[in-house]
């Protein structure tokens, strides 16, 4: 993947007393699928609107390529946006909706016809050229909006929860289509969503925000397996948390004395020191359950849900509260109220300070 193409340097944006984005430094590679996730109100949509030119920062600079676009209006930036509400023109057919931007730019008629036809083939709507928006499904309307944005050949395409209004099955289907379209056109996609699973399934890299602050940027696997902060660990997926203090530090490998006396091995970021308070993160799929309650940490099974290929368990562990476990395969063993022992491999445990 290429070097940073969209850059935000020291960007801050407030609305009255509300600070939506705080001193944001963000570098987005060219030609990839980049997602920004976080809870409602975290600043992700404001960040997208700043890149689009729909908002201007209080301080800081925004670049697309080598061009400083900080104060350039939206219509002059080499970006386009697809919103959750597709804003299609109900009185225009599919072709006219897709071609609208090119018509406004007074492009030659043959160029408009050619580029519009190319986009309709790309989004698999050839044959529906004369249909009106009300005659299309939600997924088809979403693809018309996507074609309308891409037909202008933007350097960056911004997508603000464009699948949010669709049912789950259709969202899954369109996630694959969006990822395929991005790879085929090579345009930098910047995607905002509160749905982490949606972002992980499509993205090359993911940024996690909270309260206007960038918590972590990395590949989906890095963010999930090596969270940089406790917020990231608990926001992304499910996380079992064990508190304690570092007893031995050896680079990125540690021994941790958990509250209550048990000592375990774990990995973590460099720089942690003996005596430092930490939280040990273990994902549900990495927890092992033993019938012998004396093997590992003691716990009691309080709930079990069969989910087809997996079984989800809830355990009560006393000093560590409620924990969650994911068991795979037919051999899953989880009777309710069973007293069990709980353990995990050293490489599955990750520390956050």
Higher per-residue pLDDT: 238 or 252: 238
Residue 273: count other Cβ atoms within 10 Å of its Cβ: 9
d(CA 196, CA 278): 25
Residues 258 and 162 in one domain: no
Supply the pLDDT for residue 169.
80
Beta-bridge partner residues of 256: 246, 264
Residues in the chain: 353
With tokens 């540690």, the residue in question is 254
Q: What is the pLDDT of residue 92?
A: 94
Cα torsion angle, 231, 232, 236, 241, sign: negative
Which pair of tokens denotes residue 293?
A: 């309650």
**Domain containing 296 — which CATH number?**
2.40.50.100
CATH of the domain at 30: 3.40.50.300
DSSP alpha helices (H): ranges in the chain?
44-52, 94-104, 109-122, 138-150, 168-185, 196-202, 220-225, 230-235
- Residue 57: pLDDT band by 50, 70, 90 thresholds? very high
Residue 337 and residue 308 in one domain:
yes
Q: Between the CA atoms of 94, 96, 101 and 105, what dihedral angle is there, to the nearest 10 degrees?
A: 160
Residues 223-244, mean pLDDT to the nearest whole number: 94
Instruction: Give yes or no: residues 203 and 303 share one domain.
Output: no
> Both 175 and 211 in a single domain?
yes
Whole-angstrom distance, CA of residue 37 vs CA of residue 52: 17
Mean pLDDT of 317-340: 81
As a whole number, mean pLDDT of residues 134-155 equals 91
Q: Do residue 262 and residue 167 come from a single domain?
A: no
Residues 267-282 have a mean pLDDT of: 94
User: Do 139 and 172 contact (CB within 8 A), yes or no?
Assistant: no
Instruction: Calculate the dihedral angle through the C-alpha atoms of 198, 200, 205, 208, rounding to the nearest 10 degrees.
Output: 80
Does one domain contain both 301 and 210? Answer: no
What's the confidence (pLDDT) of residue 94? 96
Looking at the fold, whether 223 and 326 belong to one and the same domain comes out as no
Measured CA to CA in angstroms, residue 140 lies from 52, 145, 165, 177, 181 at distances of 24, 9, 13, 12, 14
Are residue 135 and residue 160 in the same domain, yes or no?
yes
Domain limit, last residue, from 207, 230, 253: 230
- Record the tokens describing residue 107, joined without a space: 């492009």
Lowest mean pLDDT among 58-62, 142-146, 286-290: 286-290
Q: How far from chain centre, in Å, is Cα 156? A: 18
- Per-residue pLDDT at 212: 95
Note whether 27 and 4 are within 8 A (CB).
yes
My answer on whether 187 and 69 are in the same domain is: yes
Radius of gyration of the chain (CA): 24
pLDDT at 4 (0 to 100): 86
Of 178, 205, 230, the residue at which a domain comes to its end is 230
Domain that holds residue 131: 4-230
Question: How many of the other CB atoms lie within 10 Å of CB of 245?
Answer: 14
Which residues pair with residue 62 across a beta bridge? 8
Same domain, yes or no, for 265 and 310?
Answer: yes
pLDDT at 138: 85
Confidence of residue 149 (pLDDT cuts 50, 70, 90): very high
pLDDT beyond 80 at 261: no
Res. 1: pLDDT tops 60 = no
Structure confidence at residue 262 (pLDDT):
82
Q: How far is CA 175 from the centre of its chain?
A: 13
Percent of the chain with pLDDT over 90: 68
Task: Tell me the backbone φ, ψ of residue 55, rounded to 5 degrees.
Answer: -135, 155
Residue with the two structure tokens 């395969």 = 329
307 and 286 both lie in a single domain: yes
Tokens found for residue 131: 């249909």
Please give the model's pTM, rounded to 2 decimal places.
0.89
Structure tokens at 140: 């088809």
> Among 74, 73, 51, which Cα is nearest to 4's?
51
Residue 72 has pLDDT above 90, yes or no: yes
Q: What does the pLDDT read at residue 65?
A: 93
Please state the domain count of the chain. Answer: 2
Per residue in 175-188, pLDDT (tens digit) is: 888 899 999 999 99
The CA dihedral of 22, 27, 32, 33, to the nearest 10 degrees, is -10
Same domain, 226 and 242: no
| Final residue in a domain of this structure, among 181, 205, 230 | 230
What pLDDT band is residue 330 in, cutting at 50, 70 and 90? low
């Amino acid at each position: 993947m290429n070097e940073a193409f969209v850059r935000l340097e020291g960007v801050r944006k407030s609305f009255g007393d509300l600070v939506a984005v705080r001193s944001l430094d963000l570098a987005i590679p060219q030609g990839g699928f980049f997602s920004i996730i976080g809870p409602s109100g975290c600043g992700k949509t404001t960040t997208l609107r700043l890149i689009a030119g729909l908002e201007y920062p209080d301080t800081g600079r925004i670049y697309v390529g080598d061009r400083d676009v900080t104060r350039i209006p939206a219509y002059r930036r080499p970006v386009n946006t697809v919103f959750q509400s597709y804003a299609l023109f109900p009185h225009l057919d599919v072709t006219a909706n897709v071609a609208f931007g090119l018509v406004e730019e007074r492009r030659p008629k043959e160029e408009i016809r050619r580029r519009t036809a190319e986009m309709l083939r790309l989004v698999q709507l050839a044959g529906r050229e004369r249909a009106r928006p009300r005659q299309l499904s939600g997924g088809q309307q979403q693809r018309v909006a996507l074609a309308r944005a891409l037909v202008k050949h933007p350097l960056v395409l911004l997508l603000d929860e464009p699948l949010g209004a669709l049912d789950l099955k259709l969202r899954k289907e369109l996630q694959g289509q969006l990822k395929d379209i991005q790879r085929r056109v090579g345009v930098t996609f910047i995607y905002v969503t509160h749905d982490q699973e949606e972002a992980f399934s499509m993205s090359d890299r993911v940024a996690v925000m909270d309260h206007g602050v960038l918590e972590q940027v990395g590949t989906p696997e890095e963010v999930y397996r090596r969270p940089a902060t406790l917020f990231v660990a608990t926001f992304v997926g499910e996380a079992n948390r064990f508190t304690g203090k570092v007893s031995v530090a050896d680079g990125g490998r540690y021994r941790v004395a958990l509250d209550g006396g048990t000592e375990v091995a774990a990995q973590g970021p460099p720089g942690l020191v003996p005596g430092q308070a930490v939280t040990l993160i273990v994902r549900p799929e990495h927890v092992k359950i033993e019938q012998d309650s004396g093997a590992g940490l003691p716990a009691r099974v309080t709930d079990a849900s069969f989910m087809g290929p997996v079984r989800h368990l809830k355990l009560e562990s006393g000093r560590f509260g409620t924990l969650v476990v994911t068991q795979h395969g037919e051999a899953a063993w989880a009777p309710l109220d069973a007293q069990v022992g709980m353990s995990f491999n050293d490489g599955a445990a990750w520390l956050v300070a």
